[in-house]
């Protein structure tokens, strides 16, 4: 295992947060601070560094009440790469089934020595509630359809690495906008950094009310496609819907799947993103998902670097001013 101290510099003056609960209230300076640190961690990881032991003595707990592959695994890896301990809490085998509340569960884990809690829950606001009730750092890993800040950050990092800047780019979020926490985090972060955002999907999953967030909306991918620089393809979240939002998956794919024909009508250098998990043949065809315009796996790689940066930033604030000190 190669161990390499990287030159991160001091904690940026703009960063005062012990928690990362969303991107809605982050300033451009704060967003840029996370992205800049993530870039440094990415460079170290790409150079083969497996351990940057800046967080030895810190304990991270992944408190996931919903399933995850990318977010939970990359938070675990990020914590370990930083020399922290990382443990996974399993909701399905926990004492929640005996009636213990989420707050009591989290307080018990904190009492065992957790310094950071990475929380995913289907109820919007759960990480915020825990942040109010715990002394440790809380990071939102997805609260229902509300926010998924580290996903937004890794999407934005991927765009910035490929394009150099967010300023002036047109980014379209396509698919299940209504139920997507990734859409909300992307909108806040992208707009703060100067991108033009379009939300696009069937009328049951995107409505003119989204204009209140100062984004353009469209029901037609084909109409917007020629002027899009970045396409972020969101999964249809059937698990959050009571009624089927369109007649058939086949019809959805006909209107909204990014496929070879649509690629031919897009800008030559269009960047294709998807937060994952992807449903091949629904929001994107396999040839496009695996093709040269796709940065889908690059996003996953960037997820480790972003989570290293976030863990380092929030725990640096905790260490500088421990609660109760
Ligand atoms: N993108 C994302 O949040 O994936 P997981 O649900 O696998 O964590």
pTM: 0.95
Report the pLDDT value the prediction gives residue 256, as an integer from 0 to 100: 96
Q: Where exactly are the structural domains of the chain? A: 28-147+300-320, 149-299
Q: Would you place residue 67 in the very low, low, confident or very high pLDDT band (cuts 50, 70, 90)?
A: very high
Tokens 């695994």, located at residue: 73
Atom of ligand 1 nearest to the CA of 141: 3
**Best mutation site among 70, 153, 306 for ligand 1, i.e. most ligand atoms within 8 A of its Cβ?**
70
**Best mutation site among 63, 66, 67, 68 for ligand 1, i.e. most ligand atoms within 8 A of its Cβ?**
68
What is the residue with the minimal CA distance to atom 5 of ligand 1?
68
- Ligand 1: residues within 6 Å at CB? 68-71, 142, 151, 275-277
Report the pLDDT value the prediction gives residue 207, as an integer from 0 to 100: 83
Report the pLDDT value the prediction gives residue 92, as an integer from 0 to 100: 86
Tell me, in angstroms, the distance from the centre of ligand 1 to residue 66's CA: 10
Q: Token digits for 125?
A: 């606001």
Tell me, in angstroms, the distance from the centre of ligand 1 to residue 258's CA: 20
CATH pick for 149-299 out of 3.40.50.1370, 3.40.50.720, 3.40.47.10, 3.60.130.10 = 3.40.50.1370
What is the residue with the minimal CA distance to atom 6 of ligand 1?
68
Residues 251-275, mean pLDDT to the nearest whole number: 97
Average pLDDT, the chain: 94
**Best mutation site among 277, 298, 303 for ligand 1, i.e. most ligand atoms within 8 A of its Cβ?**
277
Report the pLDDT value the prediction gives residue 91, as an integer from 0 to 100: 87
Query: For residues 57 and 238, which has the higher predicted lDDT (pLDDT)?
Result: 57
Tokens 């043949």, located at residue: 281
Q: What is the pLDDT of residues 201-258, one digit of tens each?
A: 999 999 888 888 999 999 999 999 999 999 999 998 777 677 777 778 899 999 999 9
What is the CATH code of the structural domain delimited by 28-147+300-320? 3.40.50.1370
Quote the CA–CA distance of 319 and 7 in Å, as a whole number: 19
Q: Would you place residue 56 in the very low, low, confident or very high pLDDT band (cuts 50, 70, 90)?
A: very high
Quote the CA–CA distance of 270 and 288 in Å, as a whole number: 11
């Amino acid at each position: 295992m190669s161990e390499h101290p990287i030159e991160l510099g001091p904690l940026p003056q703009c960063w005062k947060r012990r928690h990362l609960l969303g991107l809605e209230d982050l300033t451009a300076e704060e967003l840029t601070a996370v992205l800049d640190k993530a870039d440094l961690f990415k460079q170290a990881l790409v150079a083969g560094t497996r351990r940057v032991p800046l967080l030895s003595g810190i304990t991270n707990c992944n408190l996931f009440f919903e399933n995850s592959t990318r977010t939970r695994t990359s938070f675990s890896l990020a914590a370990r790469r930083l020399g922290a301990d990382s443990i996974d809490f399993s909701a399905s085998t926990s004492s929640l089934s005996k009636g213990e509340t989420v707050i009591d569960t989290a307080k018990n884990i904190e009492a065992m020595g957790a310094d950071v809690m990475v929380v995913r829950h289907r109820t919007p606001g759960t990480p915020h509630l825990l942040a109010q009730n715990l002394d440790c750092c809380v990071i939102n890993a997805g609260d229902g359809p509300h926010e998924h800040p580290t996903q937004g950050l890794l999407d934005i990092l991927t765009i910035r690495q490929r394009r150099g800047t967010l300023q002036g780019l047109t980014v379209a979020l396509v698919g299940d906008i209504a139920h997507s926490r990734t859409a909300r985090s992307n909108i806040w972060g992208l707009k703060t950094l100067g991108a033009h955002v379009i939300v696009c999907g069937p009328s049951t999953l995107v409505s003119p009310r989204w204009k209140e967030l100062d984004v353009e909306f469209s029901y037609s991918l084909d109409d917007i496609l020629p002027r899009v620089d970045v396409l972020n393809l969101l999964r249809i979240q059937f698990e959050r819907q009571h009624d089927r939002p369109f007649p058939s998956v086949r019809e959805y794919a006909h209107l909204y799947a990014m496929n070879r024909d649509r690629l031919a009508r897009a800008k030559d250098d269009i960047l294709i993103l998807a937060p994952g998990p992807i449903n091949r043949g629904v929001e994107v065809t396999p040839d496009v998902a695996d093709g040269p315009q796709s940065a889908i796996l690059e996003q996953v790689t960037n997820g480790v670097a972003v989570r290293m940066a976030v863990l380092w930033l929030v725990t640096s604030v905790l260490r500088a001013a421990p609660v109760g000190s």
